[in-house]
Chain A
Amino acid sequence: MLRIRSLSKYYGARAAVNDVSLEVGQGELVTLLGPSGCGKSTTLRCLAGLEIPDSGEVWLQDRLLAAPARRVQVPPEQRRVGMVFQSYALWPHMSVLENVSYPLRSQKRPRQEVIKRARDALELVGLSGYEGSQPGNISGGQQQRVALARALASECSLLLFDEPLSNLDVHLREQMRSEIRDLQARLRITTIYVTHDQSEALAISDRVAIMQDGAIVQVGTPREVFERPATEFAATFLGKVNLLHAAATGKREADLREQFRLAGGGEVHVHTGGTGGPSAEGTAVRVGLRAELIRLSRNAPAAEKNVWKARVERAVFFGDGIDYMIAIPVGRLRVRTPPYDQFRVGEEVFASIAPEHCFIVGSTPQPARQEEVSR
């Protein structure tokens, strides 16, 4: 169980981590997701003790690891935290076994036990037989596994991953991703995983925390953050999204479909989920339509809601799909179709989307950050 309370870290006047609070349950894997410079790595390093936060608290189980206000700052070597670095950080002057047993050797355990545990950790990641190898002589994927074994060997209560897969090629990345997830779930280690890759985050996590400018803008299960992004940033960061300006009409049907008036004219129906009543009439919102979920057809679709006449303006073939830019009466939409849905540029088509596939985000999604600077 990990608790982060109002964690902040400044570089000069700039807040690299801005009032981050997060609770992670025992055995849970939470991803910090965001673009480079969003503060996710700095947050992770504050957990490891490699950065000293300026305010806030970090608790691991019942142990206070960092609390500047109380002058608590446990050095990294006393935190019993395992970490897998982006560059793997394998010591080139030690063999694979020496690397993995290194954390154990500081724990004053009998030599036999140290060796056994290190071997067990290597077996866990499928590297039995590589004990004597030098890190420089094994492949990138194997180096990754050694780094993982080293982090696991010390039986830490918190496991940290700092973009561990970004140096691997695509195929290896997917394989390692599922292996890390399987191991983590089997060993039930509380884990924080930092990445800028949205599909990696969605695939691996119990929950995803989306970060922007040092702050967490949304936390939720992969499905929640994907289907109901809280902010414009969260929406656009997780895939290709069209955002349309709209105003609430205050009307909601029994099946929870709410009506919004689009800025350019016409209406859009959105399945807003069950929470609370409909938005007050006139509330400005943005309606999000995912490019993959918009359908194009030559004939008018059977549905009567969320259907627009459109004209194809541009088509780009990507192999596994086609990217269209279409013009509808209220603006332009980006649409991603399967590769066999072929339309010519200039062709008149119908575009439609199910209300369940639409979402709304508030129109002032930018988190406040300027006020924090002058603390």
Chain B
Amino acid sequence: MRWRRAGPGETLLSVLLLVVLAVLVIYPLVSLIYGSIRSSPPGTGEPAYTVEHFLRIFMDPHFYEAWRNTLLLSASATLVALVFGLPATFLIARTDIPYRSFAEVLVLIPLFISPFIGAVAWTGLGAPRVGMLNRLLAFLGLPWEVNIYGVWGMALVLGFYMVPFVYLFTSGPMKAIDASLEEASRLSGRNALQTTLQITLPLITPSVLACTLLIMVLSMENFGVPAVLALPSRIPLVPTEIFVRFSYPPADYGYATVVALSLIAVTGIGLLLQRRIIRTASYAAITGRGYRVAPILLGRWRWVAVAILGAYMVATILLPYGVMMLASFQAYWTQEFTAFTLDNYRSVFTRGLLVRATENSLLLAVFGACVATALAACIAYVVQRSRAPGRSWLDFMATIPIGIPGMVLGVALLWAWIAVPLEIYGTIWILLIAYITRFLPFGVRNVSAALTQVGDELESAARVSGATQWRTAVTITLPLVRNNVLSSWVIYFIEFLKELNMSVLLYSFGSVVIPVVIFDLYTEGRYPEVAALAVGLSVLILVVLAISSRFFRIRISPLG
């Protein structure tokens, strides 16, 4: 529909969406900067401006230590993800390893269960004394002790949870490589291993670089894993630093805000670099019409490969979750086992706090996913299908939240909404706003991608047949992108259900949600109850995922 001018309806919609995005995205960012130079805490006193917070922090060795730890964690987690992810991806994408489709599902599972829950599960294995590994070592009379609390433990857990991103970024390019590029290398006198190292690996380097940067950024801004594995041992990290200054009395909002600014600056630069790499350095353009990509025949190594891959899956999924499951049926988590009990699960329905959290989480997930999906679909439609003015601005603003870490958005929303005389801050509505804003880009991209696949001419044909634009949108366009709209809803539902970073900053007594309760109970050391909640949450997520993928194809796309 390139020929027509914007109608009044779509102009109105575009303006409306621009206003909504300005409030959701731009306003909090401006508030964040405002907060960093405000002398008094939010919502109090006469505003006076100062650079004191910046000076204070840049003189504080604690700040540099937090950054040093965060960068170290980020780099080592990325290394772990690549070391495990690249070979696993190669095996699944390029060889005739048995159970390929099953392995493909398993390798993506961590994407849907948050690193936070993963870290909780891992403490069941690797906590000093009470962790199953340590109990086993003690039982065997061995003098060693495993300690998951610390930078290396975090790097391992976080790294395992980033492996799906390696797979998502590199499996496509690995499969798409023109087989004759590798065959030409074989004919040039290189064996299979030399060919993999000299031809295959360099060809996917841009994708590897892109996912490396994304994983570094995601590891940097992750709060869940340090919350479980660093807070107890008081190792300072940037996200936990924001949380501690923000939530532990006496709150130091100025400090938290400036740390948040430093975080968004670093992650922002990282993501800009990543987008540049994705846009420019792509060898994909040269892949020609190859003969066919035959899977590499592993021969008798097939079963060795599947055993290694299986061992990896068992070690990173089955073991931690198995132990967490076990713990959820225990009354206490000590060095001795206690009798089997269902009390931990029962309390979800009986204890007031848990009941309220469950209600809130489900409400936010169901209702929030509906609102977010509708908003994302409208934005995608206006950007892709209208001639409305300002649609490129709309596109730009809807992309910004990719670069805002959850912890930063949490701080920004505090500054943005605390002084607004509406019942928003301190209620469930601030969580709704936070969730929708943070995850908006995913749905917009998902629906946009579907719209670009649907040719204009289908809609033009409807218009020529006498349908109005709105009738066309509802009866032609929407049904054609139905699967992407529905899968956006499912992903929103899951993301909202497990969101911790913003919730932990913005919740209040009445608006508590499940991940926050898990975090609180964990801090109190009540591992069996934590385990029960985490198991329940994971099961719910996996069931929703399984049901929805049976009914429509879920398109998984990295959130970064």
Contacts and interface: CB of A to CB of B under 8 A. Distances in A.
Interface of A: 41, 45, 48-50, 75-83, 85-93, 102-103, 106-107, 135-136, 150, 154, 162, 167
Contacts of A76: 183, 186-187
B189 A87 contact: no
A89 B283 contact: no
Given A87-B178, A93-B205, A136 B285 contact: yes
A49 B203 CA distance: 23
A227 B203 CA distance: 49
A294 to B, nearest CB: 39
Contacts of B178: 87, 89
B190 interface: yes
A135 B191 contact: no
15 contacts: A41-B291, A50-B186, A76-B187, A77-B187, A78-B189, A82-B187, A87-B288, A89-B178, A89-B183, A90-B181, A91-B203, A93-B203, A106-B189, A107-B189, A150-B184
B289 interface: yes
B181 A49 contact: no
B44 interface: no
Contacts of B285: 136
A131 to B, nearest CB: 18
B46 to A, nearest CB: 61
B98 interface: no
Question: How many interface residues does chain B have, given as a range?
Answer: 20 to 34
B472 interface: no
B188 interface: yes
Contacts of B187: 48-50, 76-77, 79, 81-83, 103
Given A93-B205, A135-B286, A102 B180 contact: no
Nearest to B206: A93
Contacts of B186: 49-50, 75-77
B180 A93 contact: no
B289 A103 contact: no
B90 to A, nearest CB: 18
Nearest to A80: B189
A78 B285 CA distance: 31
B189 A93 contact: no
Contacts of B289: 86-87, 167
B199 interface: yes
Contacts of B286: 90, 92, 135-136
A77 B181 contact: no
Given A85-B180, A103-B187, A107-B189, A92 B283 contact: yes
A158 to B, nearest CB: 10
B39 interface: no
Contacts of A75: 186, 191
Contacts of A87: 178, 180, 287-290
A50 B288 CA distance: 18
A92 B183 CA distance: 14
A93 B288 contact: no
Nearest to A135: B286
A93 B183 contact: no
B202 interface: yes
B201 to A, nearest CB: 10
B196 interface: no
Contacts of B185: 91, 102
Do most interface residues of chain B lie in helix, strand or loop, or is the interface mixed?
helix
A92 B194 CA distance: 17
Contacts of A48: 183, 187
Given A77-B189, A77-B190, 9 more contacts: A45-B291, A75-B191, A78-B189, A83-B184, A86-B180, A91-B185, A103-B187, A103-B188, A106-B189
A89 B199 CA distance: 11
List 5 A-B pairs, minimum CB-CB distance, nearest first: A87-B288, A106-B189, A103-B188, A89-B180, A76-B186
Contacts of A77: 186-191
Contacts of A154: 188-189
B277 to A, nearest CB: 14
A227 to B, nearest CB: 34
Task: Identify which of B184, B186, B285 gathers the most chain A CB atoms within 10 Å of its CB.
Answer: B184
A86 B291 contact: yes
A136 B286 CA distance: 7
Task: Identify which of B178, B188, B290 gathers the most chain A CB atoms within 10 Å of its CB.
Answer: B188
Interface string B283-309: 101111111000000000000000000
Task: Identify which of A81, A87, A103, A167 gathers the most chain B CB atoms within 10 Å of its CB.
Answer: A87
B288 A167 contact: yes
A89 B188 contact: no
B105 to A, nearest CB: 28
Nearest to A154: B188
Task: Identify which of B189, B199, B290 gathers the most chain A CB atoms within 10 Å of its CB.
Answer: B189
A107 B290 CA distance: 27
Nearest to A108: B189
Nearest to B178: A87
Nearest to A90: B286
A76 B190 CA distance: 8
Task: Identify which of A41, A78, A92, A103 gathers the most chain B CB atoms within 10 Å of its CB.
Answer: A92
A93 B283 contact: yes
A83 B191 CA distance: 16
A102 B183 contact: no
A9 B178 CA distance: 23
Contact of B288 (A49, A88, A103, A150): A88
Task: Identify which of A49, A77, A107, A136 gathers the most chain B CB atoms within 10 Å of its CB.
Answer: A77
Nearest to B189: A106
B190 A89 contact: no
Given A41-B291, A50-B186, A75-B186, A89 B181 contact: yes
A107 B189 CA distance: 8
B268 to A, nearest CB: 29
B351 to A, nearest CB: 59
Contact of A106 (B181, B190, B199): B190
A93 B286 CA distance: 10
A136 B282 CA distance: 11
Contacts of B283: 92-93, 136
B203 A92 contact: yes
A181 to B, nearest CB: 22
A168 to B, nearest CB: 12
Nearest to B289: A87
A92 B187 CA distance: 17
B507 to A, nearest CB: 50
Contacts of A150: 184, 188
Contacts of A167: 288-289
A82 B202 CA distance: 23
Nearest to B284: A92
A77 B183 CA distance: 9
A93 B191 contact: no
B288 A86 contact: yes
A153 B177 CA distance: 25
A334 B189 CA distance: 52
A89 B288 contact: yes
A79 B187 CA distance: 7
Interface string B247-284: 00000000000000000000000000000000000010
Contacts of A102: 185, 188
B188 A85 contact: no
A291 B189 CA distance: 49
Nearest to B287: A87
Contacts of B189: 77-78, 80, 103, 106-107, 154
Contacts of B291: 41, 45, 85-86, 162
Contacts of B199: 91
Contacts of A83: 183-184, 187
Contacts of A90: 181, 286
Task: Identify which of A80, A83, A162 gathers the most chain B CB atoms within 10 Å of its CB.
Answer: A83
A197 to B, nearest CB: 16
Contacts of A85: 180, 183-184, 288, 290-291
Interface string B184-216: 111111110010000100110100000000000
